Amino acid sequence: MSEAAETPRTRRPGRDRGRARPRVSVAGVLGELLVTAGVLVLLFLAWQLWWNDAIMANQQKSSAASQSQEWIAQAGAPLAPQPDAADPEVPVDFGPTPVAEAPEHGQILGVLYVPRFGPEYARNIAEGTTLDVLNSMYLGVGRYDNTQMPGEPGNFAVAAHRSAWGGGMHLVNELQLGDAIYVQTADGYYTYRFRNHEYVQPSAGDVLAPVPRLPEAAPVEAIITLTTCNPLYSTDERIISYGVFESWQPLSAGPPAEIAAQVAAQVQEG
């Protein structure tokens, strides 16, 4: 980039702002190519981490919203919490918690709602954690197919990207004790309460055990496990978030009060 030094003092009057005359030097062209390559890499990163990420997040959210609506419409279910379910202090007995069969790979089994991730956050949960699920425009969150289903004693474990590809778990580090994690399925709404984070190596497969970290133990509780990358914009570690199953309510009872407004708004938009 030392063109200015090499250039003889014979500039065209006015308009080429000190750039070299038509004489092209190898170093000059090479330098420009290298700078261009650098700019391209930065552009790609910006595209991947923000531009395409935002587009995919939006797509995945809309796709989850339509799946949610479809189940509600099929069941002819209400969009508001029903009067007898309105008071969270008085638990309503809806009978035993249903446990669905695992679907085929890539099929949607539920919709994830996490109010802590934003008032409009929703993602489809599909079967399998391969890239065709995690990098999909319409899915984004995948269930480990060797774990349990929602509501089942044991571990309902799902994975999503922390950044890029819609960043389904971008804000996972902001979960606080007691935060609700809702999973809507064709059967109803499963409510989990966030319990704790754990930071592990990528090889720590035992966080997926029915009792996480204790592969030999028999499960009593039903828990949800969210796995994603840590730190942000890196894949060196994994951040694991555990939630404990609290309750189930059928679609006919309406959505849990905390997400009722969101679910109703999704119907109006769709």
Q: Please say which residue, 16 or 269, places its beta carbon nearer to other proteins.
A: 16
Q: How far is the CB of 24 from other proteins (least distance, A)?
A: 7
Q: Least distance to other proteins from the beta carbon of 33, Å?
A: 7
Ramachandran angles phi, psi of 32, nearest 5°: -65, -40
**SS3 state at 22:** coil
CA distance 52 to 44: 10
Q: Which two tokens stand for residue 227?
A: 């796995």
Nearer to other proteins, 148 or 227 (CB): 227
Token pair for 182: 């809702």
Q: Cβ of residue 102: shortest distance to other proteins, in angstroms?
A: 17
Pick 24 or 86: Cβ nearer other proteins: 24
Six-digit token string for 111: 């919709």
Q: How far is the CB of 158 from other proteins (least distance, A)?
A: 10
User: CA-to-CA distance for 29 and 31, rounded, in angstroms?
Assistant: 5
For residues 74 and 146, which CB has a smaller minimum distance to other proteins in the complex?
A: 146
User: Binding residues for other proteins, per CB under 8 A?
Assistant: 15-16, 19-20, 22, 24, 28-29, 32-33, 40, 43-44, 47-48, 51-52, 129, 131, 134-135, 144, 159-162, 164-165, 169, 200, 202-208, 227-229, 235, 238, 240
CB of 28 to other proteins, least distance (A): 7
Rg of the chain in Å (alpha carbons): 25
Q: Which of these, 259, 222, 247, 220, lies nearest to 94 by C-alpha position? A: 247
**How distant is the alpha carbon of residue 240 from its chain centre?**
13
- Please identify, using beta-carbon distances, which residue of 79 and 200 lies nearer to other proteins: 200
